[in-house]
């Protein structure tokens, strides 16, 4: 199983939309500051970033052993020139990621991030209960920044925040990674080669467990 520390190596500016709508000196400054804050979280956790970028030739699929909670979260610099408001919101995430890397019992399995005027973090958790406990934990670095945001920034229109949560059963997911570094659900849980019985999305959907996926690969 890939560690959160290794997944932290995926914090990088990626995707075709990275920085596209943050043009000009002022917006470039905001983007630079936000990237710096997030890179701080990366540096604190990532010991194997280079390994995370190693391309693995071939076709693979994720083989989780149990249901996974998928959590998407991000922010949008609606008024990019409001630098203090943007930075207060952006600076909360590195502290959370450092905490989660140091406390694997909190339930974060792995994540990837993409940056631009709208940021996206794709993360995988052991369960909705783990995610909810972290969000409500007075000792964890989420509750206080969230309360501060709701008090100082919510409703101002300066900065937007968003999230989506999905609980995905083993049989309700399928994936394929072709000539890719460790990525996504496969990096957060377990990865197996695609072979006989798992070549198509239809074949991969409906599997009851990762053992079933392994049997399809080996022909057992």
User: What pLDDT digit, counting tens, does each position of 109-167 carry?
Assistant: 999 999 999 999 999 999 999 999 999 998 888 988 788 878 887 888 889 999 999 99
Q: How confident is the model at residue 60 (pLDDT cuts 50, 70, 90)?
A: very high
Residues 6+ positions from 43 with CB-CB distance below 8 Å: none
pLDDT given for residue 28 in this prediction: 55
Structure tokens at 41: 């979280």
161 forms bridges with which residues in the sheet? 75
Q: How confident is the model at residue 192 (pLDDT cuts 50, 70, 90)?
A: very high
Can you tell me whether residue 161 is helix, strand or coil? strand
Can you tell me whether residue 13 is helix, strand or coil? coil
> Nearest CA to 175 among 155, 192, 153?
192
Average pLDDT of the segment spanning 9-24:
36
Between these two residues, 110 and 8, which has the higher pLDDT value?
Answer: 110
Alpha-carbon distance values, 125 to 53, 101, 106, 167, 189 (Å): 22, 13, 9, 9, 10
Q: What does pTM read for this prediction?
A: 0.72
Q: Does residue 41 contact residue 95 with C-beta atoms inside 8 Å?
A: yes
């Amino acid at each position: 199983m890939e560690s959160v520390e290794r997944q932290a190596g995926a914090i990088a500016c990626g995707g075709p939309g990275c920085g596209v709508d943050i043009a000009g000196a002022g917006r470039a400054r905001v983007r630079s500051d936000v990237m710096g804050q997030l890179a701080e979280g990366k540096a604190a956790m990532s010991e194997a970033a280079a390994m995370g970028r190693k391309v693995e030739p071939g076709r693979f699929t994720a083989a989780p052993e149990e249901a996974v909670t998928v959590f998407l979260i991000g922010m949008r610099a609606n008024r990019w020139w409001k630098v203090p408001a943007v930075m207060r919101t952006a600076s909360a995430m590195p502290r959370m990621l450092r905490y989660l890397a140091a406390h694997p019992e909190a339930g974060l399995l792995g994540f990837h991030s993409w940056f631009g005027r709208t940021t996206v973090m794709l993360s995988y958790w052991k369960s909705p209960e783990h995610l909810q406990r972290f969000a409500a934990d007075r000792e964890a670095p989420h509750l206080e920044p969230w309360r501060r945001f709701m008090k100082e920034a919510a409703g101002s229109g300066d900065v937007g925040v968003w999230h989506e949560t999905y609980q995905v059963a083993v049989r309700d997911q399928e994936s394929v990674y072709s000539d890719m570094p460790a990525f996504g659900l496969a990096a957060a849980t377990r990865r197996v080669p695609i072979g006989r019985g798992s070549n198509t999305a239809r074949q991969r959907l409906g599997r009851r467990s990762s053992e079933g996926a392994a049997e399809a690969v080996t022909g057992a």
